[in-house]
Chains A and B, each alone.
Chain A
Amino acid sequence: MNCRDVEALSHAYADSELDLVRTTEIQQHLTVCRSCSREVANIRSISSALKSSTFYFRAPANLGNRIRQSTCATNGTVSLRRRSEVHEMPWKQWMRWLIPVTASAVVILLAISAVPTADKRLTGEVVSSHIRSMMANHLTDVASSDQHTVKPWFDGKIDFAPPVINLAERGFPLIGGRLDYLQNQPVAAEVYQRNKHIINLFVWPSAQNRNSSKTANSKKGYTVISWEQAGMNYCAVSDLNAVELREFTDLLQ
Chain B
Amino acid sequence: MPHLDAAYNLARWLTRNEHDAEDIVQDAFLRAFKFFDSFREGNSRSWLLSIVRNTAYTWLEKNRKHEIGTVTDDEIENIQDEAPTPETVLLHNTGHQEIIAAIAGLPVEFREAIILRELEEMSYKEIADMMSVPLGTVMSRLARARRQLQESLRHRQPGVAK
Residues of A at the B interface (CB closer than 8 Å) are 7, 10-12, 15, 17, 38-39, 41-43, 45-47, 49-51, 54-60, 63-64, 66-68, 70-71, 74, 99, 102-103, 105-107, 109-111, 113-114, 215-221, 223, 242
Contacts and interface: CB of A to CB of B under 8 A. Distances in A.
Interface residues of B, number: 52
Interface in B40-55: 41-45, 48
Contacts of B7: 59
Contacts of B4: 59, 63-64, 67
A42 B89 CA distance: 10
B108 interface: no
Contacts of B86: 38, 41-42, 45
A223 B135 CA distance: 14
A46 B96 contact: no
A74 B18 CA distance: 23
B123 A45 contact: no
B1 interface: yes
> What DSSP secondary structure best describes chain B's contact surface?
helix
A56 B44 contact: no
Contacts of B21: 57
Interface of B: 1-5, 7-9, 12-13, 18, 21-22, 25-26, 29-30, 32-33, 36, 39, 41-45, 48, 79, 84, 86-88, 91, 96, 99-100, 103, 114, 117-119, 121, 123-126, 139, 142-143, 146, 149-150
A102 B13 CA distance: 30
Nearest to A213: B41
